[in-house]
Amino acid sequence: MSKPKLIVFASGTPTGGGSGFKNLVFASRRNILRAEIAAVVSNYEKGGVSKLAERLKIPFVYFPAPWTAEHYQKIVRRFDAEFAALSGWLKLVSGLNPKKTFNIHPAPLPSFGGPGMYGRYVHEAVLKAYRAGAVKNSAVSMHFVTEKYDEGPVFFFMPVKIMPDDTPETLGKRVNGVEQKFQPVITNLVVQGEISWDGEHKDSLRVPSGYRYLPGF
């Protein structure tokens, strides 16, 4: 029985990044994630994701500007990918099927989403809110992707403890550890159709029986 094809969009950095992509590849090879990683896409031609893809023997796509619907669709069609996972992809997505495109976000949604809320910036915003008494925890969120940043329905939310002496770097490391633990398992639920929605109405979100009782959801 063939596995669904999953394409990963992961910006990484000019010199590193791509840990989520690597995690998904390893999970696929161990059959924790029952999907074929068809390719990985980055906006850095010779960056960390490109080097990882070469090492892991996964097809790599360099995707420079403009990030238009036509170009997104062309890449997905080229690999006949049924699903698209954003894992550290920092560009606005358009033109892809919102029922089959999803993202992992290193902070609580919807409070800490939108343009500019990524990497150090989002952790700084969460810590500022924590020190003002507005939040008690950070979180890892996963959501379906629409054509507005971080506004699709959230289907996974796991709180991450904030320490009083946290910096953006220490908080980010702790959040990334939670991402690494849960991303493959939750991604598998999506590609197997156990988590879904109709692509238009947030209240159409469907999750497995009992899933909402996972810690923090």
Which two three-digit tokens encode residue 195?
A: 């988590």
209, 215 in Cβ contact below 8 A?
no
> Whole-number mean pLDDT of the chain?
95
For residue 205, is pLDDT > 60?
yes
Q: State residue 94's pLDDT score.
A: 97
Global pTM? 0.96
pLDDT band at 217 (very low <50, low <70, confident <90, very high): very low
For residue 215, is pLDDT > 90?
no
For 157-179, write each residue's pLDDT tens digit.
Answer: 999 999 999 999 999 999 999 99
Q: What is the pLDDT averaged over residues 99-119? A: 96
Q: What is the pLDDT averaged over residues 9-33? A: 97
Q: Which CATH architecture has domain 5-196?
A: 3-Layer(aba) Sandwich (3.40)
pLDDT band at 216 (very low <50, low <70, confident <90, very high): very low
Cα–Cα distance for residue pair 177/183, rounded to 1 Å: 10
- Domain extents in the chain: 5-196
Q: State residue 77's pLDDT score.
A: 98
CA 210 remoteness from chain centre: 23
Which two three-digit tokens encode residue 188?
A: 């598998």
Sequential DSSP letters for 25-61: HHHHHTTSS-SEEEEEEES-TTSHHHHHHHHHT--EE
Q: State residue 209's pLDDT score.
A: 84
Q: State residue 214's pLDDT score.
A: 55
For residue 213, is pLDDT > 90?
no
For residue 212, is pLDDT > 90?
no
134, 162 in Cβ contact below 8 A?
no
CA distances from 138 to 124, 142, 163 (A): 11, 13, 10
